[in-house]
Structures are given as structure tokens and as C-alpha cells.
Structure 1
Amino acid sequence: MLQRVQTLYLLIAAGVSAGLIFVFELWTAPNCSKVFATHAAYVLAAFLASAFLSIIAIFRYKNRKSQFTLGRLNIILNFFLLGFFVYQSLSVSGETAVSKKGIGMLLPIVSIVFLALANKAIKKDEDLVKSVDRLR
């Protein structure tokens, strides 16, 4: 059923991964130009893959185990993306007074939070179904 709370969480995670990457810059290059996810093809591909996994997980509502697994894979993908951003932020020149890092580097964290909430709701549904099956 699509009217469950994890559908909302997965939609928000997909919106963060696919929509907000065009709004917030990731970092500022040394030549003072803002770098968005569209400037780096591998970053854009990772964000769009994360959004695609979220959308696929929404429509796998009949198979909660695969929905849960897709959520976990998406969380792992976002952790890799976050690790890349940490590596990139350590190699981008800048100091603490004038930060050159953009707010877009935090988007994987937001996505991870909503994916974790969705997985928690999926697990709760699975436990509810198992408890009803025990009563039969």
C-alpha cells in the first residue's frame, strides 16, 4: 500500500537526492566558481542513483524484505557519497573563518536520516505482519 509513512520518507529522500542537488552548491572552487552536482558527472550519477533506489523502494511495497534491502543499499550509497565529500572538503583549500564548503555536502546526511526512518517504519510493518501471522 502506497499510503504508508515509509512512502513519505522515501519520497522526501528521493526529493533531497534528486531535487536539492540543483539548488545547493557542493563547494566553491579555488577560482571562486560554485560547483554544483551537475558539474561532476560521478556525483550527479550517485545522487540520481540514490533517488532511483528510493523510488524503486516505494513501488516494492508488496515485498517488504526487498524494500528494506533497497533502503539499506541506498544508505550505503549515501555513506560513500558522504565519504567522498569529506575527502573533497579536506582537499579543497579554505580556512575556518571563510569556509569554501557548500551546504550541498550535507544532503547525503539528510537523505540518510529519512532512509533510516523509512527502514524503521518498514521493519515495524514487517513485525506487525509477523505477529498477526502468529495469531492464526
Structure 2
Amino acid sequence: MLQRIQTIYLLLAAACMVLASVLPLATFTFNGQPVTFEAMGFYLNGELIFNTWGLFTLGAISAILSLIVVFLYKKRILQIRLTVMNIILMVGFYLFFLFLIFMRNPEADTTFEKVGIGIIMPAIAIILSYLAIRKIGEDEVLVRSLDRLRR
């Protein structure tokens, strides 16, 4: 059912999580050299210095789950539950991001420079997922009201 608005919301949420997995999340300076924090790791001069595959995995699972939910259009309650679980995964993405920041921050001469565009994407995906939940709920209420009329 690609003509439903919640499908658009879920596809956009999946796209946001893919972007969060590939775009830079933050930039630091370490001993005067720029360090880029991406979902796959910390990069110093283009070279991987610390691996963060867990963050990439959370983003990928969240994107895949959004795509799976699109095709469960006949099971609206399951769609709502999986979308809520997806929002929890996105919040977990942020929590793991903060954990990694605080784990690496105590090192000497590490200063925060700027936030990357990738870190904004899960927040947009959370909002889009919430909007999808509301529309799926409206569909469920409509179907139940029509079932009541048929009896």
C-alpha cells in the first residue's frame, strides 16, 4: 500500500537512518588534528582509529525495520508495535552515540568542534515514525468502525 501517507513517513524515516549511518556525526580535534566521528568509527586523517560498528548496526537495523513495517500493511497493530520498537532503537542510537562520545572524550587534548548532519537524522526519523504511528492508528480506528457497521 504505497499510496498511504504512513508509508511515505516510514520510507523517509528509513532514508534518514541510512543517512545517519553514512554521514559524519561529529567532529573533534585531537592534538590539533581533526577527528571525524562516523557511525562506523572515529577517523583521523581518513584512517580508522577506533571502531564503532555497533552504532552503524543500530542505524542499519532501524532502517531495515522501517522498510519491513511498510509491507505489513494488513497487520496494523503489528505495524504500530514494530514502529514503537524502531523508535526505541533510534533512541538507543543516540544513547550509544553519547556513550561513545563520553568514552573517548577523557583523552588528553580532545576538544569538540561541531555536530555533523548525520546526528540530526535519527531525530527526524523519530518524528516521522511517530507521525506514521498516528496515521496507522487512524486507519485501525476506521477499519474497526466499518467492521461495526457491517454486523
Q: Give me the TM-score of the superposition, normalised by structure 1.
A: 0.86
In structure 2, the partner of 1:62 is 74
Distance 2:56 2:97 in 1: 13
In structure 1, the partner of 2:5 is 5
In structure 2, the partner of 1:19 is 19
Q: Secondary structure at the match of 1:3?
A: coil
Listed as ranges, the gaps of 5+ residues in structure 2 are 42-51
Q: Shift in Å at residue 20 of structure 1?
A: 4.5
RMSD (Å), alpha carbons:
1.8
Map Cα deviations across residues 35-56 of structure 1 (whole Å, 9 max, x no partner): 2113321111000000010000
Map Cα deviations across residues 21-45 of structure 1 (whole Å, 9 max, x no partner): 32x3112243412121133211110
Q: Looking at CA atoms only, which structure, 1 or 2, has the larger radius of gyration?
A: 2
In structure 2, the partner of 1:117 is 131
Distance 2:19 2:117 in 1: 14
* Aligned residue-pair number: 132
Partner AA of 2:61 in structure 1: A
Partner AA of 1:124 in structure 2: E
In structure 2, the partner of 1:33 is 35
Question: Which structure carries more strand by proportion?
Answer: 2
Q: Secondary structure at the match of 1:28?
A: strand
In structure 2, the partner of 1:132 is 146
State whether residues 5 and 135 of structure 2, in contact with CA within 8 Å, keep that contact through their aligned partners in structure 1: yes
* Percent of aligned pairs sharing the same letter: 37
Q: Secondary structure at the match of 2:40?
A: helix
Listed as ranges, the gaps of 5+ residues in structure 1 are none
